[in-house]
Structure formats: C-alpha cells, structure tokens
Amino acid sequence: MDHIRRLAEPQHGLISREQAFAQGMTNEQIGGRLRRKTWERVARGVYRIPGSVSTWEQRLLATVWATGQGAVASRRSAAALWRIPSFAPGPVEVTQVRGPSSRYPALDLHDSRFLPEHQVRTVKAIPTTCPERTLFDLCGCVHPGRAERALDNALAMKLTTIQHLGLMLAETGKRGRRGTALLRQILAVRTADYAPPESELEALLLAVLDGADVPRPHRQGWVGATMAPVGRVDFVYREARLVIEADSRRYHSAWLDQQADHRRDLLLTAAGWRIIRVNWHQLIAEPDLLVAAVKAFRRQVAA
C-alpha cells in the first residue's frame, strides 16, 4: 500500500494503529505485515516502516503516540523542537493530562491536570507544548538561570512575546504549581518598562480573574456620577459598585493624564463607587492582590 508509506513518510516513518484502521486496514492485515516484517512494532499501537531513518524525532513521536490521546512532547524535548539554544535533541519528555500510561513505561512521563488544546502545537509532525507552555514548564524543571536564558532566547527568536507569556502565567500559574513562582519572578523584572496596548492589558486582567474563578466584570461600561458625568470605565461590577481601571503607561504616564484620572476617581467616589487601579507589572508580580480586593468588595455586597 503505497498510500500507507506516503502517510508515514512525513511522520518520521511511523504509523499508528488508529491511522491504519482509518486507511481501511484490519487487525489481520496489520498482523500480517508484522509477521512478514514489512512493519516493525515500536510500541503498542505504533509501527515503524523498515528502512526509515531512526532519529530522535521518530523516537519522540512514537513515545507521544504510545502514551495515549492528548499526550504531547514537553519540557526539554519541546525546547529542542522549538530550537531554543542549549536544548539539544536527546531527552524524551512527554506530558499527558491524566496519570502515567503503562503502554510505554520506560520513559520520562509527566502528569498535568491542566493542558488545554490551545497550548498545543504541531512541530515536525509531533504534538508539542506551545512556546509559552514550554517555558512555563522549564521554569519548574531546570536551573533558574537556564530557564531565564531560555525565555530571553525565545523572545529574541520571536517565538513568543511578553504579552503571551503574561497570559500563560495568568492562565496556568497556580500557587504551588511548579514553574509559577520562577516565571512570575522573571517576568516581573522584564515588564517594569513594558507599555502594552490597552487591549493586551485588559486581556491579562481578565485572565487573572478567570484563573482565580472570579466572575468577569462588564467591559467598557458607562458610569454616571452625581456632580458631573464620568463616562466609560474599563471594567465594572455594578452590583458591588466597583470600578476597575487598567492603567497602561502609554495612556496614564503624562501629568495631565494623571490629573484626569484623579478627577475621575473623585467623581466616582462621590457617587458611591469604589475604584481599583492596576497596571501590567502589578498583574504579573502580584495578581493575588487584585483577586483578593475584588473578592472582598463583592463579599461586602453579598453580606
């Protein structure tokens, strides 16, 4: 079946049992190929075309497939696939959402309770953690200095951005989860002078609240006052009379901008609103402060 060989070629000479079935093959036909040695079993449900070059990528893909659905190349293996300097091909590290599989036991397997589909890419035909998740995981498994260099290299290679790393931290970072503390520490230093567009800062704020399971506020709400109209605010919890303003340096660094912000705050306070102001650096370095403040204000209303 030439079409089987054509299917296997871009997959490092491999084909899975599921793919063979999708091509119309039966268990008996697969067994016949194994007996005639026109296929070689690499692991349960994973076969190699004889004559294909044995490579690290072939071994890694076989491991991912053998581990089971949802498994991906991760950590040092993912860093090597993304060509991040100092991470050479060699290690075989795989992450899956559930507990380790017995299909391919002699491997470095990792269990993650959180690995959404949007954190997975395909690199060289191998399901792989995206650059941001790869860097997050490296922060939990390699020397801090090496993880920091990997992050800087990934930024220089334009594999990712400060914004995307911030969103990954907000989405995936949890207290006690390996990699969270170090990535937060690294980004806190690198975001001090970062001036994000308004949309990026607001996306990070929402990601922080989502990660803490706090209901989202209304965006771009219009708020009135008793003495003068206030206009649009970034976020509002109307039932708690709470306004959240996301201050990007781009729009809030000039003296006149600061005076306008203070005047708006006074108008809102006079009308019975409470105001929380946050910036990018605060959301990266101490996101728990925003979460705690929002929860406290919302509890006061519920009490």
Domain range summary for the chain, segments of one domain joined by + = 2-48, 69-190, 198-302
Q: Where are the beta strands (DSSP E) in the chain?
A: 14-16, 40-43, 46-48, 72-73, 93-96, 108-111, 120-123, 126-129, 218-223, 231-237, 242-246, 274-278
The end-to-end CA distance of the chain, in Å, is 71
41 confidence band (pLDDT: 50, 70, 90): very high
Token pair recorded at residue 90: 């060699």
Note the pLDDT tens digit of each residue in 111-147. Answer: 677 889 999 999 999 999 999 999 999 999 999 999 9
Fold of the 198-302 domain: Endonuclease; Chain A (3.40.960)
Share of the chain above pLDDT 90, in %: 59
Check residue 57 and give its pLDDT.
97
Is residue 202 within 8 Å of 245, Cβ to Cβ? no
Which of the pair, 188 or 257, is modelled with greater confidence? 188
Check residue 235 and give its pLDDT.
92
252 confidence band (pLDDT: 50, 70, 90): very low
What's the angle, vertex CA 113, arms to CA 165 and CA 76, rounded to 5? Answer: 55
Check residue 257 and give its pLDDT.
63
The dihedral built from the CA positions of residue 189, 190, 191 and 192, taken in this order, carries a sign that is positive
Is residue 132 within 8 Å of 164, Cβ to Cβ? yes
Radius of gyration (C-alpha) of the chain in whole angstroms: 25
Check residue 102 and give its pLDDT.
47
Residue 258 pLDDT exceeds 70 = no
Residue 165's φ and ψ, nearest 5 degrees, are -65, -40
Residue 217's φ and ψ, nearest 5 degrees, are -80, 170
Q: Which has the closest alpha carbon to 227: 257, 264, 260, 258?
A: 264
